[in-house]
Amino acid sequence: MTFILCAGLCACGPARKVESVRSGAYVPGLALAEDARTPDIPVDDILNDTLMVKDADGRDLIIMKAVRDENGDMVASDVIVPSVVVGSFRNVAERMGKVDLRFDISIPSDLTDSRWQLRLSPLMHIMGEDVSLDPVYITGSQYRAAQLRGYERYERFIAGIVTDSTLFVDTRSLELFLKRNLPGLYAFRDDSTRVSDEQWTSAFGITGREAVEHYTDHFRKRMNARKAGRKERMFRRYVKAPIRTDALRLDTVVVSDAGDITYSYVQTIDTRPFLRKVEIELQGGVYEEDRQLCSLPSPGMLTFYISSLSTFADTRERYLTKVTSRRVEANTSCYIEFGAGKSEIREEIGMNASEMGRIKGNIRDIIEDDKFDLDSVVITAFASPEGASASNESLALRRAGAAADFFSSYTTFLVDSLCIAGDIPKVNFVSRGGGENWRLLTYLVENDTIISPRDKELYERNLRVGGADARERALHGLASYQYLRKNLYPRLRMVRFDFHLHRKGQVKDTVHTTIPDTLYRRGVQAIQDRDYERALEILIPYRDYNTAIAFVSLGKNHNAMDILSKLEPTPQTDYMMAVVYSRFGDDRNAVQHYLNACNADRSFIFRGSLDPEIASLVKRYNLNLYDQ
């Protein structure tokens, strides 16, 4: 976007004037906008002239819009004279993810000339990036007249391009030809009936297209096409400096009686994590048509320091109570293959060596661990449901006993071979029979992709059959029964290992320790980094003061007030409530909570100038003057 202002000023000696610009005699101005630190805060209610609040002792206090008179007395007034801030830096407030950068670009009358165009380009430096902002053009009256003449010349060129191709046809000769040689075809001249080329061809042996082509002036047509192809080149030739008309800025322009021009520039930027500072500088040049006469001297740099409510974050450590239990449990399962109806363990069968090797590794890791001692291992074996359930339960128990004996012997051998210093408690192995593993079978059937939905439905019905043996016989009627026997039943013959451990050196069953809440710490850090969305994502379950800070920073005022109103009053919570009430347009409550904060902590008197919500209250009711 650009701003364009036509200046009718002129001066003598353009060459000398250019040299003066080059030498720095005439410099554009770049200054902080007046009263930018207290922008207007939109509110829903009409502002009151008088407010009734409570002082620190609970007494009624009347506050009105007022100023001091020449005698130092407070007198009511509806007019507050804005202050003028002079300097090259300013604190500006971030609100709801936005920051307004307000500055003035001034052009002294000596820098303008009716034959020139000044092109001024603000350049923003933000977090290591250089961002060109929308330029401002100051256009002299003669310069604009030259631009318009260029457009007029181009329009005349465009007007000479023929857009109707029928104008290249010698219609008179074509008409005479048809009248003399093809009177039948000529008769169609006064007939509105549409005639196709096929009809013409069949009647006269010539198409209408061929007749037209014969009487077309192809030379003129080619010249016209060539001319149309030069449109862009001719535009650049005639219009050396195009007029910018796209989306003009709507900022304020002030022209003084002396002809000096001031352009009030407002640039709104989105805040981002870690944003602390933004710098603005001004670049530009003097142009005559498409030729740059000289560059404009830089007027210096403006610095905006971004203030934020993130500075109110409570950075005190938050702690969690960690309960450490003396006893710890862990479990795993493995699949040990046994011979049909057998309980003897043989490592060479199937995947037994791999599966049992994994259990051995688990036992070794626990015994070598310097934090835990292994008390006992409970081994539970399961069977598949084919055959009598009583036999399967007995077989499962025998297999669990065999596994317990095997791993008990391994553990004794392991302890002896490791030669670990100190006493190692004897590990107790307990065997249990889990019977037929119907629970696992049901899970496998439900999640199988081969068994048909119909068979799954029948399986569910069979589960309601009384007795395990009758239930298994009912499965024989399923079309997928052989699939169950071959693919699912072997997975039911598992052995589960439950390891029972205790922490070395711990006597009490539970120990309570206090540790820092690292998740909460990350949420507070996100506020300090101004990554409010991330902060809220972490802190919303806590619903505390820092959660309210994140809500206020994101403009979620009702959520923030819901939390703040339930907290114990502190200067910080009072100040935050003053900010939120100001956004609601509730001046009375906003002033009351601001005064409460200032009475408890006088540093908030000075902080108020950095936050537009509070600064607007101070300005409307002269709260700082009242405090003096």
Q: Tens digits of per-residue pLDDT, 592-604?
A: 999 999 999 988 9
Any residues with CB less than 8 A from the CB of 298 and at least 6 apart, and which?
Answer: 281, 282, 283
pLDDT at 186: 62
Q: Are residues 501 and 383 in the same domain?
A: yes
Q: Are residues 379 and 417 in the same domain?
A: yes
Query: Where does the pLDDT of residue 520 fall: very low under 50, low under 70, confident under 90, or very high at 90 and above?
Result: very high
Assess contact for 344 and 402: CB atoms under 8 A. Answer: yes
In a domain, 585, yes or no: no
Does 435 score more than 60 pLDDT? yes
In a domain, 584, yes or no: no
Q: Tell me: the pLDDT tens digits for 121-179?
A: 999 999 999 999 988 888 888 888 888 888 888 888 888 888 877 777 777 776 777 66
In a domain, 575, yes or no: no
CATH at residue 404: 3.30.1330.60
pLDDT at 465: 82
Q: Are residues 104 and 250 in the same domain?
A: yes
Q: Are residues 252 and 137 in the same domain?
A: yes
Integer Cα distance of 12 and 334 in angstroms = 100
Any residues with CB less than 8 A from the CB of 516 and at least 6 apart, and which?
Answer: 317, 318, 319, 320
Query: Where does the pLDDT of residue 54 fall: very low under 50, low under 70, confident under 90, or very high at 90 and above?
Result: low
Does 248 score more than 60 pLDDT? no
Query: Where does the pLDDT of residue 111 fall: very low under 50, low under 70, confident under 90, or very high at 90 and above?
Result: confident
Tokens of 612: 């537009």
In a domain, 519, yes or no: no
Assess contact for 285 and 292: CB atoms under 8 A. Answer: yes
Of 49-58, 59-68, 289-298, 375-384, give the lowest mean pLDDT range. 59-68
Query: Where does the pLDDT of residue 298 fall: very low under 50, low under 70, confident under 90, or very high at 90 and above?
Result: confident
Integer Cα distance of 554 and 537 in angstroms = 12
CATH at residue 248: 2.60.40.10
In a domain, 443, yes or no: no
pLDDT at 451: 92
Do the bridges between strand 50-54 and strand 60-64 make them parallel or antiparallel, or are there none, so unpaired? Answer: antiparallel
Query: Where does the pLDDT of residue 246 fall: very low under 50, low under 70, confident under 90, or very high at 90 and above?
Result: low
pLDDT at 216: 78
Do the bridges between strand 428-436 and strand 372-383 make them parallel or antiparallel, or are there none, so unpaired? Answer: parallel
Does 251 score more than 70 pLDDT? no
In a domain, 549, yes or no: no
Across the range 54-79, mean pLDDT stands at 52
pLDDT at 11: 45
Q: What kind and span of H or E run contains 345?
A: none
pLDDT at 596: 93
Query: Where does the pLDDT of residue 546 fall: very low under 50, low under 70, confident under 90, or very high at 90 and above?
Result: very high
Does 369 score more than 70 pLDDT? yes
Query: Where does the pLDDT of residue 182 fall: very low under 50, low under 70, confident under 90, or very high at 90 and above?
Result: low
Across the range 507-536, mean pLDDT stands at 82
pLDDT at 38: 41
CA 406 to chain centre: 59
If one compares 139 and 510, the residue with the highest pLDDT of the two is: 139
Long-range Cβ contacts of 212-215 (<8 Å, 24+ apart): 212/169, 212/174, 214/174, 215/169, 215/170, 215/171, 215/173, 215/174, 215/177
Got the DSSP string for 375-442? EEEEEEEEE-SSS-HHHHHHHHHHHHHHHHHHHHHHHHHHHHHHT-SS--PPPEEEEEEEEE-HHHHH
Of 209-213, 262-266, 364-368, 578-582, give the lowest mean pLDDT range. 209-213
Residue percentage of the chain with pLDDT more than 90: 26
Across the range 182-206, mean pLDDT stands at 57
Query: Where does the pLDDT of residue 191 fall: very low under 50, low under 70, confident under 90, or very high at 90 and above?
Result: low
Q: Are residues 225 and 281 in the same domain?
A: no
pLDDT at 78: 37
Query: Where does the pLDDT of residue 84 fall: very low under 50, low under 70, confident under 90, or very high at 90 and above?
Result: very low
Q: Are residues 403 and 268 in the same domain?
A: no
pLDDT at 74: 44
Integer Cα distance of 596 and 41 in angstroms = 22
Q: Are residues 266 and 138 in the same domain?
A: yes
In a domain, 184, yes or no: yes
Q: Are residues 344 and 410 in the same domain?
A: yes
Integer Cα distance of 277 and 125 in angstroms = 9
Average pLDDT of every residue of the chain: 80
Query: Where does the pLDDT of residue 205 fall: very low under 50, low under 70, confident under 90, or very high at 90 and above?
Result: low
Residue percentage of the chain with pLDDT more than 70: 77
Give the total number of structural domains in the chain. 3
> At 462, is the secondary structure helix, strand, or coil?
helix
Q: Are residues 172 and 196 in the same domain?
A: yes
pLDDT at 58: 66
If one compares 86 and 65, the residue with the highest pLDDT of the two is: 65
Assess contact for 260 and 108: CB atoms under 8 A. Answer: yes
Q: Are residues 346 and 387 in the same domain?
A: yes
Q: Tell me: the pLDDT tens digits for 319-356?
A: 876 555 656 677 788 888 887 788 888 888 888 899 88
Q: Are residues 265 and 403 in the same domain?
A: no
pLDDT at 481: 92
Any residues with CB less than 8 A from the CB of 28 and at least 6 apart, and which?
Answer: 105, 106, 107, 108, 111, 118, 120, 282, 284, 296, 297, 299
pLDDT at 45: 40
Does 62 score more than 90 pLDDT? no
Query: Where does the pLDDT of residue 545 fall: very low under 50, low under 70, confident under 90, or very high at 90 and above?
Result: very high
pLDDT at 232: 87
In a domain, 53, yes or no: no
Does 608 score more than 60 pLDDT? yes
Integer Cα distance of 14 and 10 in angstroms = 9
Domain that holds residue 194: 168-234
Across the range 443-460, mean pLDDT stands at 92
pLDDT at 19: 84
Q: Are residues 110 and 22 in the same domain?
A: yes
Residue where the block lists tokens 């604009």: 144
Q: Tell me: the pLDDT tens digits for 486-502?
A: 899 988 888 888 888 88
pLDDT at 195: 57
